[in-house]
Amino acid sequence: MEKQKTTTKYLTSDYERINLKIINLFWYIVDRLSSISDFFAELYEKTVGNEYRKERDKFNLSKSKKILFIGCGPYPITALILAEMNGVRIVAIDHNEKCVKISRKVLEQKNINRKISVELGEGLNYPLKGFDTIIASGCSQPKIQVINHILQNSDRKSKIIIREAYYKDKIIKDIIKNFGDVELITKIKNHAFRTSNWESFYITKK
């Protein structure tokens, strides 16, 4: 029952639902432009990509061996940043078949598909066994079910990174309270550019 209450609180108004659709559309457009333009791709990796590098370094993800990234979109920038590390294998998933096809093409063009595989999959039920690190994009939906699936089914001692808007801080903490075997270690604020702000929550599975 408690999880159901949290789900209800996650999107509390029509305004929030519309705002979420606008935000997701914005990031889809940014991803799509980056997938077809070297100029946009370079700009993307220098702005948003630097925030993901900060996240990678602050959360010490360099020790990760197998990473699952949920919600890769048509330009898998998170996977590309993580692939800069040595000895890591990354699986990026998206529930949109078109996004998966475009992401695979991007990897082929960059000749980096040996480290990264892109699969069609749902974040709310994708098998989590064997992943020592799981990252949920801010655009991954339905978010509450995705988070619950990760916290319930991820391996022990795994690292979990949840990206979300600032005002969702209390809700994320409320979700975590429903699970006795997870712990919020820390969080960081990200400022890629003036209109793009979000938090990354670093959680561990005991």
Radius of gyration of the chain (CA): 16
- Alpha helix locations (H) across 37-168? 38-58, 77-82, 97-110, 143-153
- Determine contact, residues 88/115, Cβ cutoff 8 Å: yes
Q: How many angstroms separate the CA atoms of 206 and 155, rounded?
A: 9
In terms of Cα–Cα distance, which of 192, 182, 179 is closest to 161? 182
Residue 10, pLDDT score: 58
> Which class would CATH give 11-205?
alpha beta
DSSP secondary structure, 130-168, as one string: T-SEEEE-TT-SSHHHHHHHHHHHSPTT-EEEEEE-GGG
In terms of Cα–Cα distance, which of 191, 135, 195 is closest to 159? 135
Task: Give me the residue spans of the domains in the chain.
Answer: 11-205
Confidence of residue 24 (pLDDT cuts 50, 70, 90): confident
In DSSP terms, which residues pair with 184 in a beta bridge? 203
pTM: 0.91
Would the pLDDT of 47 be above 60?
yes
Residue 18, pLDDT score: 80
Residue 170, pLDDT score: 84
Mean predicted lDDT score pLDDT of the chain: 90
14-29-190 Cα angle (round to 5): 75
- Determine contact, residues 100/74, Cβ cutoff 8 Å: no
